[in-house]
Amino acid sequence: MDFRPVYLQDAKTEEERTILESLQQVIDPEIGFDVVNLGLIYGLGITEDTINVKMTMTFAGCPLMDYMVAQVKDILTSLALRPHVNVELVFDPSWTPEFINPAIMNPGAAQ
């Protein structure tokens, strides 16, 4: 599979790093990992006035979907980097445990 979620070590700019570090505060309460290291962030884009996040859930019927999307929006809005935050939920490809950041499974491996 060619797809890979966006992890902190993928940040290309300080702003992306700040965003991804902040998103590590959003914890999936059922699994206990943050959304970045869990591999739920599928895309990050920054325009002149908007932070765009593509994210998924561990499964399409996740009962915490609205809660986690609201957490992402609240955290990114509180950064005040851009006036708008857009979170798009996507389910293709479907999340699998293989998307968990290898760096947290084997610290130092993917730094």
Q: What are phi and psi of 104, to 5 degrees?
A: -85, -20
Report the pLDDT value the prediction gives residue 67, as an integer from 0 to 100: 94
Distance between CA atoms of 90 and 111, rounded to whole angstroms?
27
Give the bridge partners for 45, in sequence order: 52
Report the pLDDT value the prediction gives residue 15, as an integer from 0 to 100: 96
Q: What are phi and psi of 107, to 5 degrees?
A: -50, 135
Is the confidence at residue 110, as pLDDT, over 50?
Answer: no
Whether the CB-CB separation of 9 and 103 falls below 8 Å is answered with yes
- CATH superfamily, domain at 8-99: Fe-S cluster assembly (FSCA) (3.30.300.130)
Overall average pLDDT of the 53-65 stretch: 91
Report the pLDDT value the prediction gives residue 84, as an integer from 0 to 100: 96
Mean pLDDT over each residue of the chain, to the nearest integer: 91
Report the pLDDT value the prediction gives residue 108, as an integer from 0 to 100: 57
Q: With bands split at pLDDT 50, 70 and 90, how would you rate the model's confidence at 60? A: confident
Domain boundaries, the chain: 8-99
Overall average pLDDT of the 72-99 stretch: 95
Contacts 24+ apart (CB under 8 A), 11-19: 15/46, 15/81, 16/44, 16/46, 18/79, 18/81, 19/44, 19/46, 19/51, 19/76, 19/79, 19/81
Q: What are phi and psi of 89, to 5 degrees?
A: -85, 130
